[in-house]
Structure 1
Amino acid sequence: MTSPDLIWKHRKPLSRLLMDKAADLLTVGFIGGSITDGRPRHNWPEPVTAWLVEQLPNTRIAVENAAIGATGSDLAALRADRDLIAKGCDLVFVEFAVNDYGEPAEKRGRTLEGLVRKLLADGKREVVLVYTFNQDMYEEAMKAGEVPAIIRQYDDIADYYGIGSVWMGLNALDEVRRGHLRWEEWLPDGLHPTSRGSLSYGQSVIRFLEQERQRADEREAPDAVDWQQRRERALEHPLNPRNWQNARLLGLNEVQTEGPWTLRRWLYYPWLDQVLETAAVGAKLSFAFEGRGLALGFDFGKTSAEFNYRIDGGEWTAVTRTREDWVGPDGWFRLSVLAEELESGSHVCELEVVHGGGPNCAGTNFRLGLIGLLP
């Protein structure tokens, strides 16, 4: 049987406010990928929410599920202010071990740490990291009883900032090994859990919260002050000075355009407020920005155009994005990081819309929904 210390890690205790039965309102945020997305209505946030409602009958539980399928902690760091912090979340669960798995360790460390720092900066909320499962993690390490590199990396961030973590994927795998859960009940496609698999994930988080409440009921944890001091020091001295805490957005109204463009309220996807849209090959745009990096977020799919871009009058770069068979005609909030290592200061980006060609490219819709400026 797996050691509980590998699955549940309690660091700085959750504040009494979060577990206080007399609190009037508790706003709980979730952010991650498709495994956390609220739209299937059976993913693991559902049993966690049900448990909170049952345990805190005199508290209004508000839920802000900001998870988006096929997105990582890079996009989350750019969305956190609007979709979690501005919503008044008291407690946020962060799930990106699967969708960040294929990213370089340096980049995913910067983006996840930046997200964590944004959420902790004002001292108004607690954060819990949760780790799910993919088959690559199993082949890389878990079948040999070892810890995948991304989970070691993310747990180092959790430890540095004193935030709790739950290895949901290991808990479910342990259920399989003990004969309590069939693999096909858990992950029929090797990645996305069924209702039964989601319940296993949710139950592991519930156990974490039960343990947190027990700690608070018995007495204030003896190391609470130490953890608070460690967090304060950590916020003053980041693990990676290039983390994305200060990533910010540039308004779409600051873009100059050439050709037939429209800026419109986007009614077709809940996580996009507006898009700057054209379907005209050859349409151009440009904008000035400050920072060392640049990322663009799109409503993307098989009918999307591609584009060429250049920064500061340099060489043009052609962007060619893959469109797997599972990709729809649109509806994927996809982030493209164009630059991260610019000289700090003022820059200009120019962009031209082109037909992408290639497999599964069936349109010229260019729908820009986000311009992210990276520190």
Structure 2
Amino acid sequence: MRTLILLLLAAFSAASAAETRTLGRVFQKLKAGDEVAICYFGGSITAAPGYRVKTFDWFKKTFPNARLREINAAIGGTGSDLGAFRCSHDVIAHKPDLVFVEFSINDGSPVDDFHKATMEGIVRQLWLSETKPEIVFLYTTSRDLNCRRGSHPAVARHYGIPDIDLQPPLLEALKRPDLPKPTEEQLKNPKLNWNAKGQVFMNDSVHPNDLGHTIYADTIIAYLKTQMDAAPSPLPTLPAPLVSDEFASAHLVAPTAAKLTGDWEILPAVPGKRYRDGTINARKPGDSLVFEFEGTALGIFQNVQKDGGKYEWTVDDGKDDPADKTYGGPKGRKHGIVDTAPGPYFPREHYAMLTCGLAPGKHTLKITILPEHDKTSTGHRLLIGYFMVAGH
């Protein structure tokens, strides 16, 4: 038991004892019975009714007099790049007191500067907001239990943000004698790989089953218990950026800002759906648009759909800047082709991060629907919910 407790405490490997922020401000409000908004910001692991539900239930049971409000800001299959652009809409607008950020798996367990920049863009937006919430980074893992930790912990150390690595507790749990054995059906399931040591905790390669989510939740709760009587940290202030403040100004722009040519539909917003400013939908090859923007980074918040087509895009002269392989991401790109067919997956809201690191100022995006489409698609449509713009 002592070994497990020490392991759990080691899992929250934040910057250093002297620099790491506490959750004292949050627990003061919980103990006083105030309204406390807790946000879960991440991908499909967070969207699932797993660790998120289990930890929020712990808050409710531990502080029955507090007025708790959950903010579920998770979208499956998305990383911190899209997260930076939707932070204002999906998180800050709901005035959180505490934000759990879970993008490590969908960011690819990164070690590059691009994902440092997107993660610190989220941090800087949150700490420039009215509520200046406390933040906790969460690092989930895969069934191989060998995910690297690089970009996200670097941001955590720079800003003094507590972070919880959920991989070590699964490695420790492998020693348990009561772990379930795979059933005949599970052994035949092609989505499962029982040669991977962590498959017992997963429904596939990365999504935890109930056992995995329970261990994740227990690890997070163990950390929360260490914070219940912690002295509050002062209101956060922003140091100089670790890499860049490019994504500190990330925002979403309504698709109707584009100039359309061809057979486009302009569709109204659907109440309760994600695209709150309506959508535009290309229907035929040759449909095109021009979008003028001011900034240094650009993406498209779009749908992957059964009749999704391919489009070619250019920014300005369409000539890429020299590649910067150490930075990662789409730095300096000015042209490309994006496929919105479902491929091996399913129709869903998705996105394409087109470029970053452009020269500050005004730029022009051009998009043209191509005549060919993927074999998994039945058409040429391109449904755009937002343009994603960052920088100045």
| TM-score greater than 0.5 by the shorter chain | yes
Q: Partner residue of 2:84?
A: 77
Q: Deviations for 1:30-62, whole angstroms, at most 9, x for unmatched residues?
A: 11111111xx4x321011011011011111211
SS of residue in 2 equivalent to 1:23: coil
1:35 is aligned to 2:42? no
SS of residue in 1 equivalent to 2:387: strand
Q: 1:302 to 1:103 in 2, by over 3 A?
A: farther
Q: Partner residue of 1:127?
A: 135
1:253 is aligned to 2:256? yes
What is the rounded CA distance, in whole Å, between the counterparts of 2:369 and 2:303 in structure 1? Answer: 15
SS of residue in 1 equivalent to 2:44: coil
One-letter amino acid matched to 2:292: A
Q: Partner residue of 1:195?
A: 210
Trace 1:328-367 onto structure 2 (pairs within 5 A).
328=346, 330-331=347-348, 333-367=349-383
Trace 1:259-338 onto structure 2 (pairs within 5 A).
259-267=262-270, 270-273=273-276, 274-314=278-318, 317-321=335-339, 326-328=344-346, 330-331=347-348, 333-338=349-354
Q: Deviations for 1:112-131, whole angstroms, at most 9, x for unmatched residues?
A: 11112211223521110011
Q: Deviations for 1:217-252, whole angstroms, at most 9, x for unmatched residues?
A: xxx37xx46xx6xx53xx131101254111222232
Q: Partner residue of 1:165?
A: 163
Structure 1 consecutive aligned stretches of length 4 or more whose deviation exceeds 6 Å = none
What is the rounded CA distance, in whole Å, between the counterparts of 2:42 and 2:177 in structure 1? Answer: 29
Q: Partner residue of 1:144?
A: none
Say whether the 8 Å CA contact 1:109–1:243 is kept in structure 2: no
What is the rounded CA distance, in whole Å, between the counterparts of 1:370 and 1:322 in structure 2? Answer: 15
Bigger shift: 242-251 or 154-163?
A: 242-251
Gaps of 5+ in 2: 15-19, 181-197, 320-333
Say whether the 8 Å CA contact 1:296–1:368 is kept in structure 2: yes
One-letter amino acid matched to 1:251: A
One-letter amino acid matched to 2:174: V
One-letter amino acid matched to 1:31: F
One-letter amino acid matched to 2:24: S
What is the rounded CA distance, in whole Å, between the counterparts of 1:280 and 1:357 in structure 2? Answer: 11
What is the rounded CA distance, in whole Å, between the counterparts of 1:307 and 1:244 in structure 2? Answer: 25
SS of residue in 1 equivalent to 2:298: strand
Say whether the 8 Å CA contact 2:159–2:239 is kept in structure 1: no
Say whether the 8 Å CA contact 1:252–1:276 is kept in structure 2: yes
Bigger shift: 90-99 or 158-167?
A: 158-167
Say whether the 8 Å CA contact 2:246–2:296 is kept in structure 1: no
Trace 1:51-130 onto structure 2 (pairs within 5 A).
51-101=58-108, 105-122=112-129, 124-130=132-138
Bigger shift: 290-299 or 316-325?
A: 316-325
What is the rounded CA distance, in whole Å, between the counterparts of 1:134 and 1:211 in structure 2? Answer: 27
The TM-score, its normalising length taken from structure 1, stands at 0.84
What is the rounded CA distance, in whole Å, between the counterparts of 1:268 and 1:104 in structure 2? Answer: 39
Q: Deviations for 1:305-350, whole angstroms, at most 9, x for unmatched residues?
A: 111122224369451438675422x22x222122213221111111
One-letter amino acid matched to 1:80: C
CA displacement at 1:26 relative to structure 2: 1.1
User: Considering only aligned residues, what root-mean-square deviation do their CA atoms show, in Å?
Assistant: 2.5
Count of residues paired in the alignment: 348
How many percent identity over aligned positions?
A: 26
Q: Partner residue of 2:188?
A: none
One-letter amino acid matched to 1:252: P
Gaps of 5+ in 1: 141-147
Say whether the 8 Å CA contact 2:341–2:376 is kept in structure 1: yes
What is the rounded CA distance, in whole Å, between the counterparts of 1:199 and 1:258 in structure 2? Answer: 52
What is the rounded CA distance, in whole Å, between the counterparts of 1:347 and 1:104 in structure 2? Answer: 29
What is the rounded CA distance, in whole Å, between the counterparts of 2:312 and 2:270 in structure 1? Answer: 27
1:15 is aligned to 2:24? yes
Say whether the 8 Å CA contact 2:104–2:110 is kept in structure 1: no
What is the rounded CA distance, in whole Å, between the counterparts of 2:164 and 2:259 in structure 1? Answer: 46
Q: Partner residue of 1:145?
A: none
What is the rounded CA distance, in whole Å, between the counterparts of 2:152 and 2:340 in structure 1? Answer: 28
SS of residue in 1 equivalent to 2:117: helix
What is the rounded CA distance, in whole Å, between the counterparts of 2:244 and 2:336 in structure 1? Answer: 30
Trace 1:142-221 onto structure 2 (pairs within 5 A).
148=148, 151-179=149-177, 181-182=179-180, 183-213=198-228, 215-216=229-230, 220=231
One-letter amino acid matched to 1:12: R
SS of residue in 1 equivalent to 2:244: coil
CA displacement at 1:208 relative to structure 2: 1.1
Say whether the 8 Å CA contact 2:312–2:338 is kept in structure 1: no
